[in-house]
Amino acid sequence: MDSLIQILLAYYIIDFISGVGHWIIDQYIPQDVEFGGESNANHHKFQGEIASRSYFEVTKETYYIAIILYILVLIGSFIFGYNPLNMFIITFFVLGVNVNEFHKWSHTSYNKLHPFIVFLQKYNILLGHDNHKRHHSVENHIIKGKFDVSYCLISGQLNYILDYFNFWNYAEIIIYNVSGLVANRHKNTIISYHDKN
């Protein structure tokens, strides 16, 4: 496979996976569990605090996951005979371990970022302020529910498509219908509904 195609494929796949991970953390993990050095509830209440965290604080969990996954990739390369250092795998892991750093940059003021990072954000190559702001907006939380859009954290380009088709809401409906598991953003609604009856 051509290297450019491998890079682009990895770029969009890891962007989607980052969205799935972010969505699971927001909707199905208790809000007091810490990721990237702070609880999820704290991050949504004090969004700018992530910008003060060190690189290791925000990426340590993704490094642990990447090490385990890369061991599986190496085992697979011995079994199936593929190159464990092809451009897809390199791109996937470089972007994947840095997903929370990209997330942090989307909360960091432009004057504290390198101009090249600002350029990448401005052209939606990396997740920018405007794209990620939709996830944290007051309108999103109060009018539409809580944290129900714009989960992808690498570039956020997939957010426009997934949000347009209401992907995350439909995924929550499927999970509820299959397992009875209620997304965090619906729990208060369901509890208050039952309390009234």
- Between vectors from CA 193 to CA 171 and to CA 44, what angle results, nearest 5°? 55
Helical axes 129-136 vs 157-164, angle rounded to 10°: 40
In the predicted model, what is the mean pLDDT of the chain? 85
Cα(29)–Cα(40) distance, integer angstroms: 9
Is residue 27 within 8 Å of residue 183, measured between CB atoms?
Answer: yes
Q: Is the dihedral of CA 22, 28, 33, 38 positive or negative?
A: positive
Residue 140: the pLDDT is: 52
Condensed to tens digits (0 to 9), the pLDDT of residues 66-114 reads 999 999 999 988 899 888 778 999 999 999 999 999 999 999 999 999 9
Per-residue model confidence as pLDDT tens digits over 118-135: 999 999 999 998 888 888
Q: 51 or 187: whose pLDDT is higher?
A: 51
Range of the structural domain that residue 151 is part of: 3-196
Q: Is the separation of the CB atoms in 39 and 32 below 8 Å?
A: yes
Q: Is the pLDDT of residue 176 over 90?
A: yes
Checking if the pLDDT of 197 tops 70, the result is no
Instruction: Kindly tell me if the per-residue pLDDT of 194 is higher than 70.
Output: no
User: Could you give the 3-state DSSP secondary structure of residue 38?
Assistant: strand
How many structural domains are present in the chain? 1
pTM of this structure: 0.85
Say whether pLDDT at 180 is over 50. yes
Q: Which two three-digit tokens encode residue 147?
A: 């944290």
